[in-house]
Structure 1
């Protein structure tokens, strides 16, 4: 009876801590490493999500203001002179690149002739500018995609390892009671949860930001086509 009483007291004194920190502290070091990896990945994802969301919102507002001024009917040369030193968003960079090529070619040979390949060069410059600006906007999105696709499996690895530890405890103690099994199972499920917590926002944000940037890329390409048409029309007028 005395031994049984001692056993009861020991079990009471070693009740596992099922708080988040407690489950982390009691976990095997490999499971802890998995948890830390997932936690770091989650923080990185949220930093990218915050930065990209603000960036998309900002460049969209800048593009709206640019469109309003571009189509206001004012002189394109004056507009270009104002923003050429600091094109601070992709649409402005696209406009400046095309105008710079236009003016460089238009003033060649003392302004008497314009290269027959000017239109092609302008379109090429605009395509390169769109590609470069979109590459900058899409930087680090692959990290979201990677975390979204791999985090559940990393969490699953922690889950499997935690369950293996639970079975090892059963084998060592010859006791399959809930008090023996529960800590390992809890750690395992916690690793799974962390994998999902990292993956779900990453996948949702990647899809949302990719769609927003896709629409913005279409907007840039549409502006490039319209502006190219304007310059082509002006070129034809100068030839006649």
Structure 2
């Protein structure tokens, strides 16, 4: 709304001042980069404070995005290696001893939680006494791992949401100062108001420059978090199936071991 009002005001001033349209009367324009730097240098205290605040928000958001991309990449690589090791090995004890090597992977925490609960219930042998408890342990480990991975994501979402409004605030204050100076000088010309308005619009552009990468980064990181959550749920179910399958195979052997002494006793009698 503020940008529309300023645009209409500029159009009215241009119609009232025909000399503004004369190329010979216009001052020679500088290059785009130098003109931008000059406008930033000539910005008022409010606009300059807004630009500094947006610069800090941009540095903070980029640090969050780069650190998350790096940590998520390591977690994905270690998760693939851990899955290969888990599927090659047929014993949970062997995986438990080497699980710390794949520590950046969130699947390791799910495995350790389920394995510890299984050890508490049955000592690592036979069917678990309470399979529901194993399922709850898997869900708890998955939730805790996602909570750790989601740290500082709220700051990224906050920066993406408020950066355009911070820039708009600087623009509004700059336009107010420009029209106040126009009213004090009493000269309603385009040359009098255009520099102030152009300097004020820089803060809106800066807010968009900060917000757009933050929005893209937040959406991409959130999608990867959902992918990690799905992988942890799938791995938890796969691990529970492996425990049940191993327990279904081991009891018959135990029963045969028990029957052998009985048969030997019968033969002795």
Which TM-score applies when normalising by structure 2? 0.74
Work out whether 1:116 is the aligned partner of 2:129.
Answer: yes
Change (3 A) 1:84 1:98: farther
Deviations 1:83-138 (A, max 9, x none): 25883321111111211221232239xx8x97622x22221111111001101111
1:62 is aligned to: 78
Looking at structure 1, the residues matched to 101 and 113 of structure 2 have their Cα atoms a distance apart, in angstroms, of 11
Deviates more, 1:64-73 or 1:225-234: 225-234
1:162 aligns with 2:178: no
Contact 2:113 2:138 in 1 (8 A): yes
Q: Return 151-160 or 80-89, whichever deviates more.
A: 80-89
How far residue 77 of structure 1 moved from its aligned partner, in angstroms, is 0.8
Match of 1:140 in 2: 152
Q: Which runs of 4+ in 1 moved over 6 A?
A: none
Q: Residue 149 of structure 1: CA displacement?
A: 1.6
CA contact (8 A) 1:87 1:96 kept: no
Note if 1:185 corresponds to 2:197. Answer: yes
Q: How far apart are residue 179 of structure 1 and its match?
A: 3.5
Give the 3-state SS of the residue equivalent to 2:103 in structure 1. Answer: coil
- What is the alpha-carbon distance in structure 2 between the residues aligned to residue 114 and residue 230 of structure 1? 11
CA–CA distance in 2 between the matches of 1:137 and 1:185? 43
The CA deviation at 1:232 is 2.5
Aligned residues: 222
> Aligned residue for 1:203?
215
Local SS of the residue matching 2:88: coil
Instruction: Name the stretch that deviates more: 68-77 or 23-32.
Output: 23-32
The answer to whether the Cα contact below 8 Å between 1:45 and 1:202 also exists between their aligned partners in 2 is: yes
What CA distance in whole angstroms lies between the structure 2 residues aligned with 1:30 and 1:199? 20
Moved more, 190-199 or 120-129: 120-129
1:6 — aligned with what? Answer: none
Instruction: Find the aligned partners of 2:99 and 2:89 in 1 and give their Cα distance.
Output: 16
Matches within 5 A, 1:71-110: 71-84=87-100, 87-107=103-123
Are the aligned partners of 1:18 and 1:186 in contact in 2 as well (CA < 8 Å)?
A: no
- Counterpart mapping for 1:9-20 below 5 A: 19-20=35-36
Counterparts in 2 of 1:142 and 1:98: CA distance versus 1, 3 Å = same
Equivalent-residue separation in structure 2 for 1:107 and 1:84 (angstroms): 21
Q: Which runs of 5+ in 2 are unaligned?
A: 1-26, 253-269
Once superposed, what is the RMSD of the aligned Cα atoms? 2.5
**CA shift for structure 1 position 157:** 1.1
- What SS does the aligned partner of 2:89 have? coil
Alignment of 1:46 with 2:62, yes or no, is yes
Change (3 A) 1:160 1:24: same
* Structure 1 residues not aligned, in runs of 5+: 1-11
